[in-house]
Amino acid sequence: MEFLHKLGAVLLSLYSVLTAYHILFFLAGFFTKSKIYPEARENHTYGIVISARNEEKVIGKLLDSIALQDYDPSLLRVYVVADNCTDRTAEICREKGAIVYQRHDPDRARKGYALEFLFENIRRDYGIDSVDAYLFFDADNLLARNFVTEINRAFDACGDIVVGYRNTKNFDTNFISAAYGFHFCKSIMTMHRPLTFFRQSTHIAGTGYAVASRILADGWHWTLLTEDTQFCLSAVAQGLKIDFCERAEFFDEQPYSLDVMFRQRIRWAKGRLACFFLLFPKLLRGIFVNRERRFSCYYMFFYILPKALISAIVSILYAAAGFLMGLAATGTAGLHLSAAALSGAAGSLGLAWLSHMGTGAVLAVRERRHIRCSTGRLLFYLLLWPFFDLTWTPIYLISLFMHVEWKPIRHDKDFDILQLESRACRKSPAGFSDKGDACG
């Protein structure tokens, strides 16, 4: 048991030293203003790609929000892959002017394969280089009306990959959707914003990002369970830059039932493990070879490192050692060992819960202007949200032993962008307006 304590202390100390930048990122993410990109020299052309499976309830609202963009509509072309659909998804998209390709392949019903199919058709019918860049969305997304304009400013300045501000359109549904909302706010404040401030590459998660067409010249070939993470790691390992545009806001519908939440996150865990084992050698190589993107590869290595799985393994070793020592001891000594083990576990969990609540409170203050939720509900959800991060450990462990398939998530929040924008947005705390300083 003493050996395990020492080993755990050494590993924790080593990890803390190697990732000490998190402290600086946390402070920078809270205190710095959003990056403002200069006016674009050119209004670029964009292909908007959407993968949808039985999304007749919400996809029309996404297409309406695209039509409402304050950007020249002649520079936008919308492509939809209706993937194994059995509803009116394809019909609705055609009615709203989208170019639709229908795909029927139940054996490979996964978003990555659907995108691969879509880009094969785009290459054949239009040419991948017929636009300057591609914007990626899911059917449940909604775009703020200046989304493309702001993305274009960032893309014009950067030229590789740009990701927008991922907001939650149903934050206030219940504590589960709110936990997702806190999770993505945490990504904004502790990763996207500070990485942008220090002029480093950030990461892609889900949708709402633009990719230069030259990067996709050979099509889309990232087909793991988490195709977005796979593409992200590949891009950074190749030396590409992923920039964050805070003013390009889009909204994402989050799950609000426990079964869907755990199913999705088990898929995320399984997919991220596959990405880690497939791509960590390239990231390590980038740390030592790619001088310009050295820190980006370093950051991405620790971003994808399965910390929750490592934590699960260490916890199991501790529990097993404590159990064996309890069996070996007799009488009062055995009871003391068991009580000490339980007390230590409960104390650690309690401290972790309070720590996450503290982080959540900071997130709520910094990102308040983006959170569409009453203050009373927000405070209540803040008490419960730590369960989201603290359940990563069992989720990663479970994912090792489960056969995971990509399954669609039902979306039914069918309000439109005008309804969403009409809901009162809270003012930013003092000193945190989105009128940041222009950057080079």
Residue type for 336, please? H
> In angstroms, rounded to a whole number, what is the distance separating the alpha carbons of residues 246 and 163?
8
> In angstroms, rounded to a whole number, what is the distance separating the alpha carbons of residues 321 and 338?
11
Indicate whether 435 belongs to any domain.
Answer: no
196, 291 contact by CB (below 8 A):
no
> In angstroms, rounded to a whole number, what is the distance separating the alpha carbons of residues 195 and 296?
9
Indicate whether 422 belongs to any domain.
Answer: yes
> In angstroms, rounded to a whole number, what is the distance separating the alpha carbons of residues 265 and 213?
30
In sign, the C-alpha dihedral spanning 220, 225, 227, 232 is: negative
Q: How many CB atoms lie under 10 A from the CB of residue 401?
A: 6
Which residues lie below 8 Å from residue 178, measured CB to CB, with a gap of 6+? Answer: 168, 171, 172, 373, 377, 378, 381, 384, 385
Q: What is the pLDDT of residues 36-71, one digit of tens each?
A: 999 999 999 999 999 999 999 999 999 999 999 999
Indicate whether 346 belongs to any domain.
Answer: yes
Residue 9 has a pLDDT of 77
51, 112 contact by CB (below 8 A):
no
Q: Is 150 exposed, middle or buried (0-12, 13-18, 19+ CB in 10 A)?
A: buried
Number of domains in the chain: 1
CB burial of 132-148 (b: ≥16 within 10 Å; e: otherwise) equals: bbbbbbbbbbbbbbbbb
Indicate whether 271 belongs to any domain.
Answer: yes
Can you give the residue range of the structural domain that contains 23? 1-427
212, 161 contact by CB (below 8 A):
yes
Indicate whether 439 belongs to any domain.
Answer: no
Indicate whether 26 belongs to any domain.
Answer: yes
User: Splitting the chain (440 residues) into consecutive groups of 10 residues, what average pLDDT does each group show?
Assistant: 70 89 96 93 98 96 97 98 96 97 93 97 98 97 97 96 96 96 96 95 94 97 96 95 97 94 95 96 92 91 92 75 63 56 68 92 95 94 94 92 84 85 54 40
Which residues lie below 8 Å from residue 418, measured CB to CB, with a gap of 6+? Answer: 68
Indicate whether 24 belongs to any domain.
Answer: yes
Indicate whether 432 belongs to any domain.
Answer: no
| Domain harbouring 213, CATH code | 3.90.550.10
